[in-house]
């Protein structure tokens, strides 16, 4: 007998473009998982909320707790309205939250949006705080998406998410590997914002720019890029390294956009080992997958043995919300949803706190 779960997945990414809400159905049949994305929306954040989330890392302890509760209440209210609008009855909500600190070397990863407040306002059970157990077990607490890639997107050799930070997941010799590659939309959107644009639509600004070799060399320099996995990046690292290098450059904004796209493409090429003799299929999702110029540069860097594929827009935009919904399903069933081969933890684990409403 097939087993199905209706789940609301919530994702708030580092690019602060809004709260992604995805209503998904997962069905386990013939020893395989099948997913459907049934309803979706992205709710843009108002300026005051963006300011609060951006300033959270320097907030006082009291302010941080207040924001955690307020953001959780906001998320729960949005879920409640979404459920009423679509007249659905989900089994539970799975929320990633919004990352404020991710410093695995200090055993710290903090996501705001308290699960209890989501549950109270959504009037649904909530699963959240997916990273903490893995960190307690000596892992990076990231990336978490790879088990979803393995069970839901196994037809691809590599799954790359071009979000605020670009990351990759792939299987080699029966073992799943995954890690953060480089900053991505955090850099591109910051540059676009500096000239009054929310993002570089289709990468047209970057396309009109010119390569700045000195800036490219500086961006490619950090030791992180040649370090072995497991490894992960946080906003703090990006500010200290990539954004600092960009700010110190005298190049024009369009030349910086062009050069950053080349940097991202080069780091992706460096991160993907050949897995077999045939054609390698690469799934690209996340906001960066809409940047046509960036996609062209990735394909150019990877060469003829790699085929980059951008799926339908709904999967591009909501894959992370989909996979966190799926991580919630695994947590609900008491099954491993975090792979030690990816995070470096002492063992596979079942991450996530559950709040029953």
Q: pLDDT digit of tens for each residue in the chain (357 aa)?
A: 689 999 999 999 877 889 999 999 999 998 999 999 999 999 999 999 999 999 999 999 999 999 999 999 999 999 999 999 999 999 999 999 999 999 988 999 999 999 999 999 999 999 999 999 999 999 999 889 999 999 999 999 999 999 999 999 999 998 999 999 999 999 999 999 999 999 999 999 999 999 999 999 999 999 999 999 989 998 899 999 999 999 999 999 999 999 999 999 999 999 999 999 999 999 999 999 999 999 999 999 999 999 999 999 999 999 999 999 999 999 999 999 999 999 999 999 999 999 998
How would you label 297-309 residue by residue, b for 16+ Cβ within 10 Å and e otherwise? bbbebbeeebebe
Q: Are 342 and 230 within 8 A, CB to CB?
A: yes
Torsion angle of C-alpha atoms 134, 139, 140, 146, degrees rounded to 10: -70
Could you tell me the domains of the chain? 3-142+338-355 (3.30.420.40), 148-315 (3.30.420.40)
Kind of pairing between the strands at 280-285 and 158-162: parallel
Each residue of 84-94: pLDDT tens digit?
Answer: 999 999 999 99
Q: Which two tokens stand for residue 97?
A: 């939250």
How far the first Cα of the chain sits from its last, in Å, is 28
Each residue of 197-245: pLDDT tens digit?
Answer: 999 999 999 999 999 999 999 999 999 999 999 899 988 999 999 999 9
pTM: 0.90
Q: Are 18 and 163 within 8 A, CB to CB?
A: no
Tell me if residue 123 falls in helix, strand or coil: coil
Q: Which two tokens stand for residue 277?
A: 């003799």
Q: Which two tokens stand for residue 229?
A: 């996995």
């Amino acid at each position: 007998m097939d087993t199905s779960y209706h789940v609301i997945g919530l994702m708030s990414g580092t690019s602060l473009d809004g709260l992604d809400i995805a209503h998904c159905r997962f069905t386990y049949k013939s020893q395989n998982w099948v997913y459907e994305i049934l309803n979706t929306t992205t709710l843009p954040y108002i300026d005051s909320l963006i300011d609060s989330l951006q300033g959270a890392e320097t907030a006082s302890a009291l302010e941080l707790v207040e924001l955690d509760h307020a953001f959780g209440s906001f998320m729960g209210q949005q879920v409640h309205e979404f459920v009423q609008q679509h007249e659905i009855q989900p089994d539970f909500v799975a929320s990633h939250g919004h990352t404020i600190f991710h410093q695995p070397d200090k055993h710290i990863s903090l996501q705001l949006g308290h699960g209890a407040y989501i549950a109270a306002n959504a009037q649904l059970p909530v699963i959240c705080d997916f990273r903490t157990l893995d960190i307690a077990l000596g892992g990076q607490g990231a990336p978490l998406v790879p088990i979803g890639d393995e069970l839901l997107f196994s037809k691809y050799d590599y799954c790359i998410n071009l979000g605020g930070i670009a990351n990759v997941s792939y299987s080699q010799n029966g073992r799943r590997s995954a890690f953060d590659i480089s900053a991505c939309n955090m850099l591109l959107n910051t540059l676009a914002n500096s000239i009054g644009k929310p993002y570089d639509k289709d990468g047209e600004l970057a396309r009109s720019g010119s390569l700045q070799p000195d800036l490219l060399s500086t961006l490619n320099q950090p030791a992180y890029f040649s370090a072995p996995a497991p490894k992960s990046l946080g906003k703090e690292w990006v500010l200290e390294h990539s954004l600092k290098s960009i700010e110190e450059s005298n190049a024009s904004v369009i030349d910086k956009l062009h050069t950053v796209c080349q940097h991202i493409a080069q780091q992706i090429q460096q991160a993907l080992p050949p897995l077999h003799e045939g054609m390698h299929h690469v799934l690209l999702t996340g906001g960066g997958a809409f940047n046509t110029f960036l996609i062209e540069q990735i394909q150019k860097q990877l060469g003829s043995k790699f085929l980059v594929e951008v799926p339908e827009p709904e999967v591009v935009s909501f894959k992370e919300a989909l996979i966190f919904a799926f991580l919630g399903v695994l947590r609900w069933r008491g099954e491993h949803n975090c792979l030690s081969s990816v995070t470096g933890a002492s063992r596979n684990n079942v991450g996530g706190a559950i709040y029953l409403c």
